[in-house]
Structure 1
Amino acid sequence: MADHSDLPAGARPQDAAVVVSLSEYKQSLDPVPVTFHRRELDAILWIYGRMVGEGEWKDYAIDHLKDRAIFSIFKRSGEMPLFRIEKNPKLAAKQGAYSVINTNGLILKRGHELQQVLKVFDKALKLIE
């Protein structure tokens, strides 16, 4: 099989590396989305694995948006998420970048350190009759 390019003369392939100056990158109108770092995902997935083992959670989704990263936790994949773990860097200097939000939008815990915020899942939440 011959490797012939269908590109017009002078055109570059889509996957070619492009060098962009740092100042141009910072002024870009399309910023890089906020993501979870590896240690943050390790902590979240450790809690997730424990709860899957207990039969409480079944599915998850990760969204990397322009202003925040969201780890959504589901009982069933077709439903609304039971919990959302959010990372919002704009709130880092105020209430803290990390928060755990329930289905109704109520913030269960917020803080500057993810490990402290995830402790909300250490408590066994029971229905009181």
Structure 2
Amino acid sequence: MNMPFGFGTDHDRIAFDRAELGAILSVYGRMVAAGEWRDYAMSFLRDAAVFSVFRRAAEHPLYRIEKRPKLRGAQGQYAVIGMDGRILKRGHELPVVLRVLEKKLIRPVD
């Protein structure tokens, strides 16, 4: 069983497990290498774990990657949310949901 990454042993908080965090950090690393993202923050709340990505540390997050286990049976527990609060992708499998961010790396060549 994968242990969640979080601070302390507060069992009433949601956290990303090792595999989830690995998938998120893989996308994050590619976006940093492309010069798109420069910082991140993680929040572990009672109802959600949130990985926020920033272009600069002093800004609002460009995207939030959220895990909400209460939505597991319905819409899917994972979501990517844009800066404006719109849900860009929601689903049951994190790698599938993260693909919406991969599209940001594909740019037309002039």
- Same fold per TM (> 0.5)? yes
Q: Does 1:103 align with 2:103?
A: no
**Deviation string for 1:7-51 (max 9, x for gaps)?**
xxxxxxxxxxxxxxxxxxxxxxx8520000000000000000000
Letter in 2 for 1:115: P
Q: Name the structure 1 match of 2:41.
A: 61
Give the superposition deviation at 1:121.
1.4
Output the CA distance in 2 between the equivalents of 1:103 and 1:35. Answer: 22
Question: Whose Rg is larger?
Answer: 1
**Deviation string for 1:73-129 (max 9, x for gaps)?**
000000000000000000000000000000000000000000100010121376xxx
Output the CA distance in 2 between the equivalents of 1:111 and 1:73. Answer: 19
Superposition CA RMSD, Å: 1.4
Q: Name the structure 2 match of 1:115.
A: 95
Q: Does 1:42 align with 2:29?
A: no
Moved over 3 A (4+): none
Structure 1: tracts of 5 or more residues without a match: 1-29
The number of residue pairs the alignment matches comes to 97
Task: Give aligned-pair identity as a percent.
Answer: 56
**Deviation string for 1:54-79 (max 9, x for gaps)?**
00000000000000000000000000
